[in-house]
Structure 1
Amino acid sequence: MSYLVMERTFDEPMLDADLARMGERLGPCLQDHSVQWLRSYLSSDRRRMICTFQAPDAEAVRMAYRTAGYPFERVWQAMVLPTDAGLAPPTS
């Protein structure tokens, strides 16, 4: 299984009710395409979202979103960096 990232933007800020509906509609499509949702990040202005998944490949995530009728900007394969990868700023 690969780690995948999906990016999406919204014309209007997303409301909590809209997000709940999206989850209800998308959930079965993710399952049908063997995609496991891991986490979502919604920007403070509620107009941009990034979601992370585990799936066989990026096309499985794309197909799940298309089947649910939701647009997306891009889906790409990612790797998870270890917590000791040295990305944190040095403390002094």
Structure 2
Amino acid sequence: MARIVVERNFETPQSDADMKAVADRERPCLAAYQVTWKRSLISADHKRMVCEYEASDAETLRRIQREAGAQFDRVWVGEVIE
């Protein structure tokens, strides 16, 4: 499985309720495509977010984001550096 990064930029700050609503719509899609959410980072102003997943490829994540109605800017394959 590859590490896939989803970048998101928002016009207005996102509340916890906003983020939960997207996660709730996304959860069944992740299960259907056998994708695992790893972690998300949100900026201090809540207008930018980066989410990390494990999936077979980036196109699968693009499909999930569209099906879940989740806003995203870029999806790309990355590597974890520790």
What's the TM-score once normalised by structure 1's chain length?
0.85
| Contact 2:10/2:47, CA 8 A, preserved across alignment | yes
**Runs of at least 5 residues in structure 1 that lack an aligned partner in the other structure:** 84-92
Q: Say yes or no: does 1:39 pair with 2:39.
A: yes
What count of residue pairs does the alignment treat as equivalent?
82
Instruction: Give the greater-gyration-radius structure (CA).
Output: 1
| Contact 2:13/2:46, CA 8 A, preserved across alignment | yes
* Percent of paired sites with the same residue: 43
In structure 1, the residue matched to 2:62 is: 62
**Runs of at least 5 residues in structure 2 that lack an aligned partner in the other structure:** none
In structure 2, the residue matched to 1:16 is: 16
What's the TM-score once normalised by structure 2's chain length?
0.94
CA deviation string 1:55-76 (max 9, x = no partner)? 0000011000000111211000
RCO greater where, 1 or 2, for CA within 8 Å and sep 6 or more?
2
Q: Once superposed, what is the RMSD of the aligned Cα atoms?
A: 0.8
